A and B are shown apart, each in its own frame.
Chain A
């Protein structure tokens, strides 16, 4: 699984939306969509203790990404279902598109660990993985071993790359960007916040996911290599000290090809919907909040 990458990718996506999409995708919806797969699937992965008894999955990777299990949450199709339901209930296009983009980004990025994601569900229950690092959620190790393994492997590099993408697009984090791009795409939600809190707090809400990603990345890397002495292993599939778990053995070319195909389908779908339903140029005017 990916850690801070799931926080950074929302800003990276936002910063690199095609020009005609700007102002037509809710950023908060991208963040929410990015959290939905693990929000549904992950609570049972680590489990919890109550009255001295552990409740949770006995085989975390099968529950998290497999079928039967919650692996369907990491599928593009599931993103379509959730976004479609959201649209039926609210008729909010910007949010529906954002949820689809966030969920698709999450699923596609998760092909990097050794278990991978069922991105082509329900057409196949095969897991698509390129095995860049070892999936490390285990019953005994829980969140601690998972974090230590991730931040000792190429997972750390993956988070760093996403962080670099966001920092290279640093304007996406500015108050001006929030006022001119983020708010117009989602005026009702931001106006709701704006009636209750000062503008500086609205901007902090907007930046909060980035803040969380950056601080958790530093904290877990420090936990693994300052407070503890887990060995770094920047080799494919590492760290070597983590047993490799897999759910399938597809050729990397097939995995990457399918991921590109799925990503392209999502792009074409969102672009087609925007062209059909919102043909006007994107909104550049400020929407007052606060």
Chain B
């Protein structure tokens, strides 16, 4: 799923700004998605869980 999302975003961004369609940005794009998106996702879920936990505690 993450590869699909990375692919779609890269194609859309690349068509909007074709300077992105090069051999440096292209490979880095997927590596960045696989590296950082799960981290961001975990952080967002962690914050949400902490907030829900605090609300239940009140």
Contacts and interface: CB of A to CB of B under 8 A. Distances in A.
Given A200-B34, A204-B34, A215-B10, A227 B15 contact: yes
A208 B6 CA distance: 11
B58 to A, nearest CB: 36
A143 B18 CA distance: 9
Contact of B30 (A143, A198, A212, A223): A212
A145 B10 CA distance: 21
Nearest to B35: A201
Contacts of A207: 3, 30
Nearest to A227: B15
Contacts of A230: none
A214 interface: yes
A223 B12 CA distance: 11
Contacts, number: 60
A144 B14 contact: no
A216 B34 contact: no
Contacts of A143: 18
B31 A219 contact: no
Interface residues of B, number: 20
Contacts of A222: 11, 15
B11 A218 contact: yes
A interface secondary structure, majority: helix
A35 B23 contact: yes
Nearest to A144: B18
Interface string B33-45: 1110010000000
Given A204-B35, A219-B11, A219-B15, A211 B23 contact: no
A231 B14 CA distance: 22
A209 interface: yes
A219 B30 CA distance: 15
Nearest to B26: A212
A208 B27 CA distance: 5
Interface in A222-268: 222-223, 227
A211 B27 contact: yes
B31 to A, nearest CB: 5
Contacts of B14: 215-216, 219
Which of B3, B23, B35 has the largest count of A CB atoms less than 10 A from its CB? B23
Nearest to B14: A219
A208 to B, nearest CB: 4
Contacts of A161: none
B57 to A, nearest CB: 33
A27 interface: no
A201 B6 CA distance: 14
A211 B11 contact: no
A67 to B, nearest CB: 25
A214 B38 CA distance: 23
List 3 tightest A-B contacts by C-beta distance, closest first.
A212-B26, A208-B27, A204-B34
19 contacts: A197-B35, A198-B35, A201-B35, A204-B33, A207-B3, A208-B30, A211-B27, A211-B29, A212-B23, A212-B26, A214-B7, A215-B7, A215-B11, A215-B26, A219-B14, A219-B15, A219-B21, A220-B21, A227-B15
